[in-house]
Structure 1
């Protein structure tokens, strides 16, 4: 989530935000883990390195640990930095979430800014860490994620609702930003059927 901010603060560091584990240094002696629960991957990796693959597999079974094989992208969320002091960009950021379905949203943001395109692109990236197009794409994919997590509608309808009439283009973009296809994402992050059934059986007041 903090990749744009990290890059702005440490431009000389090569950041691999899609990776769960990154090795560096002589003989790969430094191993860096990503998100909070990726300590499990780091633990299994170190066990495999020092005690062998079979032992790492045995430990994973004992503690029900699983490798995050798809990396960090499926778990990443966009952080829309608005504390940057650029009033023009902030106005565009307030407009974008209300109109991201528009086919001409990037052109609309440019008109709203009142700036020449190159100046707008430069200021927008400096303030947010994203180009205007990247920002809109992330907004659309974030909305699609929430719909996939909570709703049962066809993926085609979700694509249309977030601004993509071309399903193939939506699938490619979603996989690029989320690391999974929309169908894979839904299967991973929807509540299991038995959990949903249990929740439906709970009285509304208790559930609240």
Structure 2
């Protein structure tokens, strides 16, 4: 009985200490299957949920968002331990795994739902996003200027269950093999030192 009590206290302290450092980031970089598959692998990321943000329809369906009339972007809401990975580091990955210079499109995925967007949760996130955009543009890391939208977070609706962990559950699906897989491989080569062990 004493051992169970000590285990319970240990788990409670662990969960409490973890909760103190958790923050959220909401990022759109094209298809959320790609974004989720990448951020799931980063050290310090606790969870990643695919969903929709930035629109005017309450609890939209995937079909509604795909029609491009709801104003939502496909995004991932990332819960992370700020003592292990910073918002700035999350954005370093963000700039590296999509093209932030194409308006409302990523490759063959076209529409406002695929826009490059950072929904900031606080003024620090806004400042960091704007500073990084300025630096990336000044350094001419891309041929064209960044068109990433930086907007205050207002809402997030979790996507349907089958979208969660889509790449992990469907690695041989056509889009996953041709689009998601290569993006994940590129990310793994660039960020080897930051992958979960």
Same fold (TM over 0.5): no
Higher normalized contact order (CA 8 Å, seq sep 6+, divided by chain length) = 2
Bigger fraction of residues in helix: 1
TM-score for both structures, normalised by structure 1: 0.23
Asked which structure has the greater CA Rg, the reply is 1
Counting strand residues as a fraction of each chain, which structure ranks higher? 2
